[in-house]
A and B are shown apart, each in its own frame.
Chain A
Amino acid sequence: MTGFMDFYTPGSTFLHRMDPRVKILAVVLLSLLAFILSQLLYLLVLFAFIFLLLYLARVSFGKAVFALKFLFRFMALVVVLWPLFDPVGTPVLFELGILKVTLPAIERGVAAALRIGCLATVWYILMFTTQQRDLVHALVRMGLRFDFGLALAIALRFIPTFSYTIEAIKDAQRARGMELEKGGLLRRSRNYVAVLLPAIVSAIRTADTLSLTLQSRAYGARRDRTYLRELRMRRSDFVALSVAVALFVLPAVAKYILAVTI
């Protein structure tokens, strides 16, 4: 299975330049909005809006296709499976034995699929337009403990390294005659232990070196640590923040206070 280690696509669109904290907040608000909306039409509008953002982010086509390929298949599956297991309401479109497909069920399936689509896409936009270190930095600035932020940053840095290590160990074991692609699930899993054990030992050695490195660079010597790159909110960031808040608050007020069906 192939994928990308980092979804970030370099660019200079307004989404790239936005403060990562604002981006995270906006993404959270848009995700909550997807849960508030229940009418098909409004979900469709939100979906279109999010895809407009994706277009404006000027993401590399390959990465976008890879990230969303599974999503579309998943959405299709939800649309197909939903009516089969939730035959509610009328009118009944057709009946086949115990299978009963109704119009409301199809509508609900499409709505559920759209909601999932909104949720996933909006988070991938964040990942496409923000560098991983900026994401971690923003999370630390938003209240994540610095040491856990550091652990997360280390993890993101080492995922590609360990993937290559595992591939190298696999090749080494294949050279010794181990067949990793042969046999059933059980046998393959058992053979995989011969890959996992060296990988763990190698990872733990890395951790030892890392902890020495952290100490030699005076990790945690002072609580009031400073940062090389400071995050600063600009005027455009405040505009973006207010737009995102308005996008969430207005429908929420309409639904929960004015009791409008949306």
Chain B
Amino acid sequence: MKDGQPEQRNDRLAKPAGFVSPKTVAIYGVLIALTAAVTYSSAAPFSPTKGYFNLGDSMVFFSALAFGWRAGAICGGVGSALADILLGFGVFAPVTLTAKGVEGLVAGGIGTRKYGRVFPIVLAAVAGVFVLVVTSILMYDSGLLDADEPMPLIVVLIPLLAIIVAAAVYLVFSRGSERVRTWTPIALGVALGGTCMITIYFLGEWLLLDVGLGKAILEIPINIAQAVIGGTIGSFLSHRVKKYYPSLSRGM
């Protein structure tokens, strides 16, 4: 981008040469600080794993859902990592940076997009394949289904079940009320983002920090609680704030 184009200088919210707009810088800075401060002041020690429970995830999800995936990734990741350092848990900071960053990125990427007609079809297909795979695995595992001689009934039944589930999902999300259509992507984004966070924490603690498998497993339930509670609060907050502050995410 070239320096000093006159039409950009006159616009109050114009991007300055090469940099993101001042509003973006201010919002990002404030969101990083807010994420860190909320994590910091809501931290409650969790003795079994020497970790701590906090509501920082609600701010990660809030940043992601109110300002998009980039804000979610940067503000969630950096803010949570800073809080880790300030609370004396600096060992976790790199893992936190990645885990919360990906959490914000995924939640924002999925949760804030406007979905058209294709979305219910994709969702239905995913649900169908999921049912197909899970029921097949369960059947094989329980010995109901033999790999050598598949029972005709079950071979028909599983795809039929998958198709029914897919159709139900499609009907709910394409004919569903406005509320269902608003909240489904958000719930999906929060769920997938939370799953990413939990997985990265687990892998990071187990493989990168070398804390041993036991401690990494002990951390999973507390992370699930954090993701669920944080996701609920975060999506509620972003919904409210977007409703009463519609001008918020403009000019970024």
Query: Taking beta carbons and an 8 Å cutoff, which residues of A are in contact with B?
Result: 1, 3-5, 7, 66-71, 73-74, 77-78, 81-82, 84-86, 109, 112, 115-116, 119-120, 123-124, 127, 145-148, 150-159, 161-163, 165-167, 170, 185-186, 189-190, 192-193, 196-197, 199-201, 203-204, 206-208, 210-211, 214-215, 219-223
Contact = CB atoms under 8 A, between A and B. Distances in A.
Contact of A159 (B37, B210, B214, B215): B37
B171 to A, nearest CB: 32
Given A1-B52, A85-B213, A109-B212, A116 B233 contact: no
Interface residues of B, number: 67
Contacts, number: 215
B30 A206 contact: yes
Question: Chain A at the B interface: mostly helix, strand, loop or mixed?
Answer: helix
B215 to A, nearest CB: 5
5 contacts: A67-B88, A81-B212, A193-B233, A204-B27, A210-B29
B88 A70 contact: yes
Interface of B: 3-4, 12, 16-34, 36-38, 40-45, 49-50, 52-53, 55, 58-59, 62, 74, 78-79, 82, 85-91, 93, 209-215, 225, 229, 233, 236-237, 240-241, 245, 248
Given A207-B27, A215-B12, A86 B212 contact: yes
Given A1-B44, A67-B88, A81-B215, A197 B19 contact: no
B55 A124 contact: no
Contacts of A156: 33, 82
Contact of B245 (A7, A159, A163, A204): A204
A189 B229 contact: yes
Nearest to A181: B44
Contacts of B34: 158, 162, 199-200, 203
A84 to B, nearest CB: 6
B62 A200 contact: yes
A167 B42 CA distance: 10
